[in-house]
Amino acid sequence: MVSLRLVSLVLISAVWLSACSGQPQQKEHYFTGQTMGTTYNVKFVSSQDIDALALQQKIDQRLIDINQMMSTYIADSELSMFNQAPSLTPFTLSPDTAFVVAEALRLGKMSGNALDVTVGPLVNLWGFGPTKRPETIPSDTQIATAKALSGLDKLVLDGVVLTKSTDGLYLDLSTIAKGYGVDAIAELLIDRKLNNFLVEIGGEMRVAGTKLNGETWRIAIEKPVTESRAVQKIISVGDNAVATSGDYRNYYEDDGIRYSHLIDPNTGYPIQHNTVSATVVHSSSMTADGLATAMMVLSAKDAQALAEIHDIALLLIVKDDDKFVEYQSPAFTQMVTIIN
């Protein structure tokens, strides 16, 4: 049997040799701040000598720039200027905004318009945009009028030039802009050879490498219940992004009817099916963000079919009476490790 004294001497020697080797020590760094009407969190592990203040200033400035391009709450943002411009007038976008619009159009087409970044008039009509909850439920005429102002077919993107065919069309990239912000910060870290990180904006997340203790990053998927905060599942996703969309918190009731904040662009009405949560894992947070919303708008059957056709890593949670039923797509099972 090896004595405790010998073990102690070995450990002391190992620590002394490590200190004398001149190898820099790994440290965890953590930043947080405000952006896009929510918060951001950045954690990364590095042995580099980091100027933390300068790096956070870079992160903050990048997010400020993205907001100035894509926010609908900033009156002179690039997106607001496009929304105010007359129809049939070519509008030159920044490369960043054009990239996000192109992905929004691609995902919209892929999902049969379940993701529609022009659905703003309908969202506002139902009281889930900047306007307040309506005093009365919208009429069929009001819904038809709002639908006439929306539709991806009313947008044409040619390179960085975007044109709309209808006055009053309202382009809103909020369904994927936070995800794009996550990707932008992740790429900023990667450019600085910081390859062990977690970036999160308003619940949209992307991770790479490992934590300080050498373990992979673990991500909790929330149980889709309104009365408490609980964990449905803990997962590890490798070097990927995770986005979850659900309708179990943002809704209102009128005469016993529940109205979700998720509007089906094809009907003009809030979704009524029993899918309560959709989680997508993808290399891009922007793409995961948009797909998670699309999967929530689609019926469970259509979401599963879309995931299997396009090899999308999807975890769907459906309410069946008083219990939750999970669906994991083949791509989800292959990409994701279930921790608990």
Same domain, 322 and 251: yes
Residue 283 in any domain: the answer is yes
Same domain, 34 and 101: no
Which tokens in the block code for residue 140? 């069929």
Question: Of 112-126, 178-192, 316-330, where does the model show the most confidence?
Answer: 178-192
Whether the CB-CB separation of 241 and 183 falls below 8 Å is answered with yes
pLDDT score of 9: 35
Instruction: Kindly report the CATH number assigned to the domain that includes residue 128.
Output: 1.10.3980.10
- Burial of 188 by CB count in 10 Å (0-12 exposed, 13-18 middle, 19+ buried)? middle
pTM: 0.88
- Single out the residue in 171, 198, 232 at which a domain terminates: 171
> What whole-number distance in Å separates Cα of residue 324 and Cα of residue 328?
13
Residue 179 in any domain: the answer is yes
Instruction: Kindly report the CATH number assigned to the domain that includes residue 278.
Output: 3.10.520.10
Whether the CB-CB separation of 19 and 12 falls below 8 Å is answered with no
Residue 13 in any domain: the answer is no
> What whole-number distance in Å separates Cα of residue 21 and Cα of residue 208?
28
Evaluated on CA atoms 17, 21, 26, 27, the torsion sign reads positive
Same domain, 43 and 186: yes
Between 254 and 325, the more confident residue is: 325
**Nearest CA to 247 among 227, 221, 275?**
275
Give the total number of structural domains in the chain: 3
Which tokens in the block code for residue 163? 């044109």
pLDDT tens, position by position, 153-201:
999 999 999 999 999 999 999 999 999 999 999 999 999 999 999 999 9
> What whole-number distance in Å separates Cα of residue 221 and Cα of residue 326?
12
Residue 20 in any domain: the answer is no
- Through-space distance between the first and last CA atoms of the chain, rounded to whole angstroms: 37
> Structural domain of residue 40, as residue ranges?
25-72+174-207
pLDDT tens, position by position, 77-110:
999 999 999 999 999 999 999 999 999 999 999 9
Whether the CB-CB separation of 46 and 196 falls below 8 Å is answered with yes
Same domain, 91 and 68: no
pLDDT score of 272: 83
